[in-house]
Each structure stands twice: as C-alpha cells, then as structure tokens.
Structure 1
Amino acid sequence: MTLPPPLDWQIAKIGPGQEVPPEHRVTRENWRLYPYSRWAFQHTRELVPSRALCRSTAPRRLDEGFVPLDDLPSVGDDAGGAISWAEFEAQTYTDAMLIIHNGTIIHERYYNGMTRHTPHHAFSVSKSFIGLLAESMIADDVLDKDAPVTTYVPELADSGFAKVDVHHLLDMTDGVAFDEDYANPGADVHRYSANYWTPALADGGVRAALARLTGRDHDPGSDFSYRTPVTDALGWVIARAGGKRLADLFYERMWQPAGCADEGHFLVDTAGDEIAASGLNTTARDMARLALLVSEGTGIPTAARASILSGGNRDLYAKSKYAERSRGSYGSQWWVAHDGFGSISALGVYGQRVHIETETGLIMIRFGSHPLASNLHTDGLHRRAFEALRNFLR
C-alpha cells in the first residue's frame, strides 16, 4: 500500500476569524483517521470527555545528556537499503521520540506541532500500564489474581467472563470471543469502540458492552488472543477492588510515584467510565517517567516488576497469530521478548510504542499518527532501529 508523505497538518494553521473548511474539520467520527489524526491525537480533550491526572506533588527531574543521533549507523529499511535516524522518524510518522539510556535522556525530538508539554493519545499503550497497576495491587494484597472476575464484578455473571479468573484477564487467556481485526470493517472491535466515543451508536457504555459479550472461543487458560475488551474488564475489576475510580487509583499508584510533571488524562466512555484499554494521554516525558517505574523498579512493589518481566505462557503465544512479532510472550498486559536485552514493550495503534530494555538501560518512547492502525507494518523497521541504537551506545 502506498502511503502519502508525512504532513504538517494542523487546524491551528487556519487564521483568526477564518472559517475552517468542512473537509478539514475534526469530529468524533473522523478523528482517528489520517490526516485528521495528525491534529486530533494531540487534542483528544477537545473531542472526547476526559478525567484529569493532575501534576504530581513531587515531579521527577529527568537528567539530560543529549547525543547526536545523526552519527548513528544507518537504520536498515524494509527494502534492504539504509536510512538515517531522522528518516526513520519521518517514515514512521513520528510526533514525539524520546530515548533514555541508563536513566538519562539522550535524544528528544518533536514533530507536527507537538511540544515537551503536549499530551498525546497513547491508545493501547494504556493496557500495559493498567497491567502494571493491577500487578501493584496484587503485590499489596488489594487484588487477588486467582479470584473469579465475578467476585469483583457480579454484573458479568451472565457473560463470557463468568468462569474467568483475574490472572486470565492479565494474560489475555480468558477465551471470550471477540474479533480484533482492525482491517475488517465488520469486526467486533469497531462496533465495540462506538461505546468509547460515539454516543449516537453507543448502548450503555463499555461496561454494558462487556456484559453483552457472551460467546467463548476456548476454555480459560488454554489459548492466548489479544483483545481490547479484556483490558476494559480488568479496569472494571481494578476499580471495584480498589474502591475508587480507575483514574484515582492510577494517580495514587502510578502517576504520583513516577513523579509525572505535567497534567495527563484518561478519556472516558459514553457512560462516563475511564477507558482502561486505550484512554491514557500523557506527554512524552511523563510516559518516560512511567516507563522508568518498570525499568528501575523503584516506586512499585518488587513483585509487580518481577511478574511483568517474567512474561506469560510462551507455548500459548507461539501458537498465536502474534508469534511473527517475536519468540516471546504476552503477560500482565505487556509484550515480553524473552531476549538477551530484557526487552518488554507497550504498543498502541497508529504508532504508539514504549520499549524498555532492562539489561541495556535503553528506553524508547514514541508517539505517532501513522495512517495505518496496526503496528505490524513497522515492527521490522523498529527492530532494526533498536539494533542500530544498541550498537551505537555500546
């Protein structure tokens, strides 16, 4: 598929007093589509209701020691050629790229009008930090990973989640039937997401939609399949176990300990509940602070970090369609590579990535507005970029 070149496309370029042409107006119906997404992913609060994550009372200072990545050995492109680091960022429709090595920011670059203080939509990167929140609560005995989901959410007693335990949600081995194929216009994920931000098509919000998921593909624990509603179910369980709104629990256990220095937010669905699976919006620097919780292991329970780094069931992952991504696993809502670098990743559609290597001290935060939803289109390019970066930093 031939894609248009990256655009510096912003509604902000319309002059004062000028009417925005209808074809350039960003709406709830088009904001996730290119090129509207180029502006919308940095302005979600103007399009969808949200709940604030206030600035931490003890913001963490991030050390800086910038390294010119123009000197980086060329990144291999998909055609077998070579491109510069700047070309890699441009070709992947980057809005923000921030790299940390051994706790110090060595590279920080913004495109498309984004700045250091601009929050960006993280999409399914949210899932991984909801997983971290759940593991933190499990480590502190606030949440029982072996308890049935219905212990916390009896409203799911007649759904496909009825015989599922919390740990099945964490590893997405619950078996509830759901089609997550973004390329299929008729897939379940498109009807389900209407409950996020399309009131005219919604029917009671995400929680009501979860209760209507009654089908099953397999027994709990017998297969792995990545599906967005599973994280929303986990978010509901977390809120019930913690006795507070999800955003409040996230602030207390993640945002505040990380020392996040800007205001972030969770988008809320058509019923007013936080969107656990894809609602987090942060600045690049605050996403880096959240990533450092996992990388450094400070500010979170030791057992929570250990559970994430151990990953999920590798045999189940190897049988899944995601085995082409790595010889890894999926556990605690994180993609775990099981390589020699201690690599784990949080991934979101349209180019959102958090990559952490616990053995090399490397962290990459990237926000983007790629025209294509699936990150599989740029996985190979990112793998080669990580390799070039590692070799450069040795």
Structure 2
Amino acid sequence: MTLPPPFDWRAAGIGPGPDVPADRRVTRDNWRTWPFTRWAFQHARELVPSRALPRAERPVPLIARPIDTAALAIDDGEGRQLDFDGFLARSYADALIILHRGEMLVEHYANGMTPATPHMAFSITKSLVGLVAERLIAAGTLDPDLRAGDVVPELRPSGFAGATLRQLLDMTDGTAFDEDYANPDADVHRYSAAYWTPAAGHGGVLAALPALVGTDALPGQAFRYRTPVGDVVGWMLRRATGKALATLVAEQVWLPAGCGDEAYMLVDTAGMEIAGTGFNATARDLARLALWLMAPDQRALVERLLAGGDRALWSAAMPPRPATGSYRGFWWIDHGAVPALVANGVYGQRLWIVPNEALAVIAFGSHPIVSNRFTEPLYDGLFASLRAILPG
C-alpha cells in the first residue's frame, strides 16, 4: 500500500474554525481521519469535552544523555534497513523518547509537537486503567473474582454480566464484539458513537454497554481484544470505589509516578471519562510513568503483570505468532528471552518497557492507518536495534 508522506500540520494549514478552508478544516466529524489527525491528536480537548488530571507538585526530573542515533539500523519488517530518520518518517512519529538506566537517550518531536504538548494515547488508556485495578486488587480493596453484573446491575442484560474482574482485565470475558477497524460495518464503529457523536451516542457508554448482549465463548475460555471491555472495568471501578475514574487514575498512578505536565481524559457523550481510549498526556509524563514502573518499589506490581495471562488462549487468538505472548491487566506481555510490558494505541502509539534492562520506548504518532499492523514491524525493528547497541 502506498501511504501519503508525513507533513507538519502548521505548514499545511490544518486546523479548526470557520476561517480555515473546508478541505483543511478539522471538525468533530473528521478529526480521526487523515489528514486531520495530524492536528487533532495534539488538540483533542478542543474538539471533545475532557476532564483534567492534577499535576504532581514535584514532577520527577528527567535526565538527558543523548546518544548518536546513527548507530541504529532498523529492520522495517520487509527486509529493508532504515536509519533513524527513515524510521521516524515511516512510523509517522510525532514524539519519541528512549529511556535507558534512568536517562533519556533520545527525545524527538515533530509535526508541531513539543515537550509540553499532550497527545492522544488511545488504548494506552486501558493500560492505565489496568494499573489502577491491579493496585486496588493488590491492596485488598477489590476482589478479582467480582462479577460485572454483581458490581454493576445495569450490566446484567449484557454479555459481560457473568465475567469476573480478572477475566475482563485479561480480555477473556467472552462477549461478542467485532473490532475490525478496516470493516466499516464492525461493531467498533457503532459503539464509538457513544464516545464521539452526541446525536448518535446519547447516553454514552453506560447506555451502549448493556446493549452488547452476544457472547462467542464462555468466560475464561477465549482471549479476544475488544475496547468496550475497558469501559466495563472503568464502570466497575467507579461503582466499587465511589470515585470518578480520573480521580482513581490520579491517585493510583499519575501522582505516584510524579507526572507533572498537562494531562486529561476525554469524556463520552454522557460526560463520563472514557476508560477504553481518550487519555492525553505528554511524552515526558509517559516517560515518568515508565520510570516509576521500573523502580524497585513497583517490582511486585510489575512481576504480577509479567507473569502474564493464559498463553494458550493468547496463542490460539493470535496465529501465526508463537506462544511467547499473553495479555494481563490490560497490558500486552512479551514472554521472550527478556520479558517486556507493552501498551499500544491505534495510529502508532507505543509504551514499551523492559524492566530487567531498564529500557523503555515512548512513542506518539499520527499514522494514516488506524490499525498498528503498519507500525508494529517498525517498532519491533527499533527495539531489536536498541538491544543490539545498548548494554544490557
């Protein structure tokens, strides 16, 4: 597939408002389609209502130790080698930070983005919500065997009702839902109206979730990744604790990690924070989150995640990949020779953490294609190249 070249939204005149020519005007209807994504993913709260997170009073300092990126030779997954600039262009990166042993080796921005610019993280949002749930479970505040329909009676008509919190966090609840972004008739496009389209999404996800009544497996019998599961867990967390989701994310993750830049969660058409997507933050604050997760005092949490979910179920759902991965607590787990935690978001968002090597990559992007199948091989190549040139 031939893809359009990346461009800077400022030079192209992309933006909102009546004074912008119609073919370059960003609206609430087109903001998730190319080329409007180039502007929109850095300005989501100007289009969709949001709820801000508090900032740490003393943000964790980030220490820079730049390396020469000329040493990076990145396999693009198709047999070609890219230099670092070629990788950035092919991945449509808006921001990229590489951390190693507590220091920033690379901090790169493009497309008008700056260190202070929040960017859409998409499904990395789920991974933050997963951290909240895992910490509350570890503290004894939540029982992982709680069933969705018991915590949230409104979900009893849905396919989620009999699934436990643990099964939901590991995406093995069995509720039927088609998340094929390339299929215009897929469930995900109708469901997302509850996020973004006031006229069609009246009532938000709290109205949309009970209507998802189908199942394609018994709870605990199959792994399938689906965005509404994040919203089910978000609803359970609110109901079980009596707190807003933004408050829980701030208390359990954002403030403990020392994140100090602007961050916010988009809210759905009913005014509730979206748990399945919509978190916005700076690349530097995701770097602080990675440093926090790699710190010794979070080792128990990380080890529980790295233990992973059911590898056989993951392998059955992800052919032809080898059974070296799983899914746990809304994180993708790499069980390779050096285990890694991975949080992904569509359009090229990445948070890749290798605790045993004190190595992490944070990336924001605005790729023309929703699915990450175009960027995943590129990031695999970057990770392999980093491991080749950095000491373990």
Pair in the same fold by TM > 0.5: yes
Structure 1 residues 299-338: aligned runs within 5 Å: 300=298, 303-321=300-318, 324=321, 327-338=324-335
The answer for the alignment partner of 1:191 in structure 2 is 190
The answer for the alignment partner of 1:280 in structure 2 is 279
Query: Structure 1 pair 250/86, CA: closer, same or farther in 2 (3 Å)?
Result: same
Which has the larger displacement, 185-194 or 151-160? 151-160
CA distance in 1 between counterparts of 2:226 and 2:290 reads: 23
**Shift in Å at residue 241 of structure 1?**
1.7
CA distance in 2 between counterparts of 1:325 and 1:266 reads: 35
Tell me the alpha carbon deviations over residues 128-153 of structure 1, each in whole angstroms, 9 at most, x when there is no partner: 11111100010111111011112321
Q: SS state of the match for residue 216, structure 2?
A: coil
Could you list the runs of 5+ residues in structure 2 that have no partner in the other structure? none
CA distance in 1 between counterparts of 2:83 and 2:269 reads: 43
The one-letter code matched in structure 1 to 2:346 is V
**Shift in Å at residue 322 of structure 1?**
6.0
Query: Structure 1 pair 63/379, CA: closer, same or farther in 2 (3 Å)?
Result: same
**Shift in Å at residue 327 of structure 1?**
2.5
Could you list the runs of 5+ residues in structure 1 that have no partner in the other structure? none
The one-letter code matched in structure 2 to 1:47 is L
**Shift in Å at residue 206 of structure 1?**
0.6
The answer for the alignment partner of 1:56 in structure 2 is 56
Query: Structure 1 pair 326/390, CA: closer, same or farther in 2 (3 Å)?
Result: farther
Query: Structure 1 pair 11/43, CA: closer, same or farther in 2 (3 Å)?
Result: farther
The answer for the alignment partner of 1:41 in structure 2 is 41
Query: Structure 1 pair 326/266, CA: closer, same or farther in 2 (3 Å)?
Result: farther
Which has the larger displacement, 46-55 or 323-332? 323-332
CA distance in 2 between counterparts of 1:69 and 1:165 reads: 46
**Shift in Å at residue 268 of structure 1?**
0.2
Tell me the alpha carbon deviations over residues 34-82 of structure 1, each in whole angstroms, 9 at most, x when there is no partner: 110000000001000000012112211112211121233x212244222
Tell me, yes or no, if structure 1 residue 220 matches structure 2 residue 219. yes
Q: CA RMSD in A?
A: 1.8
CA distance in 1 between counterparts of 2:225 and 2:18 reads: 45
Under a length normalisation based on structure 2, what TM-score does the superposition of the two structures give? 0.96
Tell me, yes or no, if structure 1 residue 262 matches structure 2 residue 270. no
- Aligned residue-pair number: 390
**Shift in Å at residue 323 of structure 1?**
5.5
**Shift in Å at residue 355 of structure 1?**
0.4
CA contact (8 A) 1:171 1:331 kept: yes
CA distance in 2 between counterparts of 1:257 and 1:241 reads: 21
The answer for the alignment partner of 1:156 in structure 2 is 155
Structure 1 residues 1-394: aligned runs within 5 Å: 1-10=1-10, 13=13, 19-72=19-72, 74-298=73-297, 300=298, 303-321=300-318, 324=321, 327-394=324-391
CA contact (8 A) 1:196 1:269 kept: yes
Q: SS state of the match for residue 373, structure 1?
A: coil
- Percent identity between the aligned chains? 52
Query: Structure 1 pair 372/326, CA: closer, same or farther in 2 (3 Å)?
Result: farther
The one-letter code matched in structure 2 to 1:108 is E
CA distance in 2 between counterparts of 1:297 and 1:207 reads: 38
Tell me the alpha carbon deviations over residues 20-39 of structure 1, each in whole angstroms, 9 at most, x when there is no partner: 10111111111011110000
CA distance in 1 between counterparts of 2:241 and 2:319 reads: 32
**Shift in Å at residue 304 of structure 1?**
2.9
**Shift in Å at residue 19 of structure 1?**
2.2
**Shift in Å at residue 234 of structure 1?**
0.5
CA distance in 2 between counterparts of 1:232 and 1:330 reads: 17
The one-letter code matched in structure 2 to 1:246 is L
CA distance in 1 between counterparts of 2:78 and 2:310 reads: 34
CA contact (8 A) 1:124 1:347 kept: yes
